Structures are given as structure tokens and as C-alpha cells.
Structure 1
């Protein structure tokens, strides 16, 4: 029996848990990315996390394992979190703009991102973080402004309509290509740590 293809064209507010949302997401066929990937990479972490990290999309390692940020960039992200005394499974929830790997690790096309964003929006609502870190241009452009650029906007706090504090910064993969970006990212995550501690005390 073929699985039911779920197309989230209606209001997802009726979905009340991440587990239920994941079950529906893995059956999504709103764009062609699902046809070319091995696994849907839904997201993982603490479902009640105060801090949510959002990247671009799964890479080869993520596609193979069905988990976000498990390759070299993910290992670097773990080290960054450790450096500010946070642990990804205890303190964060991690997701991506798209949940299926784009061919050749290219950036998601606008229509692919738009097809997948309803899932991410509902994830954000269910996790209800106080802070979101946007990792790289794709996350910034799809969640804040399609004309934005990460370099001039990184390190600046933004605030969503619902009051979530948003910190754009470079994607960990950019640090692997350019070590000069490590210092700015470290400064950005220190700001995130300070804000996280304020939330923990409130």
C-alpha cells in the first residue's frame, strides 16, 4: 500500500505535537526534492528548547542518517555550543529551511523553500523558543528578508512579531571554508549565550 501523500495546504495549527508533525512531514511531496533524497531530515533536539538553530538544508551525511548537522559543519556547531556551555540535545532544537537534501548540496530554490516553510513555521510554534539563530544566507533570506545578506546583518539582534529574538550568523560550513569567519561567529554566539542566560533566569 502506498503511503498517503500529505500536502499541507490547510492550517497546521491543528497539529499539536512535533511527533505528529514529523509523521506528516515524511510523507510530504510538495516539491521535487523528496524524489532525489534518501531521508527526510525533520529536526531534533529538546522540544521545549529556549534556543532554536535553523540552517539551510541537509547535506550528504544528514541525508544518509536522517539527522540535521551531523557532518563536518555539524561537528563544528557542536564545538561552538560546547564553548558557550550549551549542549545541543539538552538546550537546543535544530532544523533547516528545507527537510530534503537539494542535489549537490546547492541552496534551496525559492519555490522549494516556500513549499517546505509551513512545516518549519509549525515547528517553531510548537517548540516556542525565546531565541532563534539563523545559520547562513538561506535561513536569513527565507525567514527574514529575501533580499538580505548575512555579512552585514550577522551579529545584530532582530525580533519577530511574536517576540522571538533572532540572531543571524554565518553557517558553520562557511567557517570551514574561511577561518576568518570564526571570530565573528564566536562573538555572535557569546551574545546568544548571554541572552540564553537571561531567559533561564526569568
Structure 2
């Protein structure tokens, strides 16, 4: 069994924090076990909790649109979240919930070994940059930056981006998100 599959089973049965008591489904993530890009969101929403899949609601449609605009297929990327179970009422993930799920994310990144890690939103950005010893500023300052990090002999390119949900009511965030996805597409093509 591949490490990503083992982690999926572990996440689906996880009871490390109180979110396990209120979830319909844990959302371990999905995509190829050797994906070149890993997208990391913050936490599952209502649709994700119901379906057990990441980014299937309104923010997921925006993500799909952004991927398409950059010439990237959803089927070729791995998509997961910092927190694997939906916080009640879609509230922000709490520190103890993030801490409970952190080892899963670390292991997913280690097992997949992507070239690119794209963080979607401030919680994902802070956690991932902290994992690599990089101090994070605000998402407004950091989005679109291309940050090279290494760990255990592996080199990753981290690109913080706004969460797609933040672009629903804010045209400037939408424009920034579109620009950041174009940057990702160029990097993938080696431009």
C-alpha cells in the first residue's frame, strides 16, 4: 500500500480532535500519489464534508476555473487541506485542530514529494511556511511570491495564494488569484 493510501485510511478513521465527532466525512485529499503540484486549502466546507472530497463547492468551482486558465488539469494535482474535517459553521480552524492534523499534512508532502506546493489562504500559508522555517507575512504581502524551500534533501517551490472563496466578493482578490495562477502555469512550463 502506498503511503498516501495508508494516510487516507488513517485520516478517515482519525479521532485526534473534537472535529471527528461532528463530521459527516473526513476529507483526506485526492489526486495522483506522484503529483507535481499539491494544493493545500484551510478546511473542508459543507459540500466537502458531505462528499468527502476537497474543493467541490463554490470555492472548488473557482479553483477548477483557475486551474483551467493556467492550463492545469485537476486530475494531475493533489488537493488537500490543513484540517481534514469541517469546523462547525465553517469557522476558522483552531490551533489545536491544526496541530492534530499537521502530521498528516507533513506526511502527505513527504510521500508525494511535489515540485510545487500552492497554499490557498492564510492558514495554509502560515503552516506550510512555518514547516520549512520561513516567516510568513500577511497573505496580501505574500501571495504570488515564489519561495524555494528544502527539507530532507527535497526541494519544493511554495507559492502562497488567496483562498478561492476570498475571491467570491472581492474583484481585486480575484484578479490577484488569476495572476498568481498564471505565474504557476508559467513556472510549470519552465518559462
Q: Which residue of 2 aligns with 1:38?
A: 24
Cα contact 1:61–1:71 (8 A) shared by 2: yes
Q: Does 1:148 pair with 2:104?
A: no
1:29-76 superposed Cα distances (whole Å, 9 cap, x missing partner): 111111111100010012211011000000000000000000000011
Q: CA deviation at 1:185?
A: 1.1
Q: 1:25 aligns with which of 11, 32, 38?
A: 11
Q: Could you tell me which residue of structure 2 aligns to residue 132 of structure 1?
A: 117
SS at match of 1:161: strand
Among residues 61, 82, 92, which one is paired with 1:75 in the alignment? 61
> Which entry has the higher C-alpha Rg, 1 or 2?
1
Return 5+ residue gaps in structure 1 as ranges.
1-14
Within the alignment, does 1:196 sit opposite 2:188 as a pair?
yes
Question: How many residues get paired?
Answer: 184
CA–CA distance in structure 1, aligned partners of residues 120 and 65 of structure 2:
15
Q: Is the 8 A contact 1:57 1:98 kept in 2?
A: yes
State the Cα distance separating 1:93 from its structure 2 match. 0.4
Q: Which runs of 5+ in 2 are unaligned?
A: none
Of residues 30-39 and 15-24 in structure 1, the stretch that sits farther from structure 2 once superposed is: 15-24
Corresponding position of 1:157: 146
Which string of whole-angstrom CA distances, capped at 9 and with x for unpartnered residues, describes residues 142-171 of structure 1?
221486321111111112223200000100
Q: Does the 8 Å contact 1:130/1:165 carry over to 2?
A: yes
Shift of 1:110: 1.0
CA contact (8 A) 1:140 1:148 kept: no
Q: Structure 2 CA distance, aligned partners of 1:73 and 1:140?
A: 17
Contact 1:56 1:138 in 2 (8 A): yes
Distance 1:155 1:111 in 2: 28
Partner residue of 1:181 out of 173, 180, 191: 173
Shift of 1:16: 4.6
Alpha-carbon contact 1:81-1:88 (below 8 Å) kept: yes
Indicate the SS of the match to 2:99: helix
The equivalent of 1:66 in structure 2 is 52
> Structure 2: how far apart are the matches of 1:113 and 1:99?
9
TM-score, structure 1 normalization: 0.87
Q: What is the CA-CA distance between 1:181 and the residue it aligns to?
A: 1.1
Contact 2:42 2:123 in 1 (8 A): yes
Contact 2:32 2:77 (C-alpha < 8 Å) held by counterparts: yes
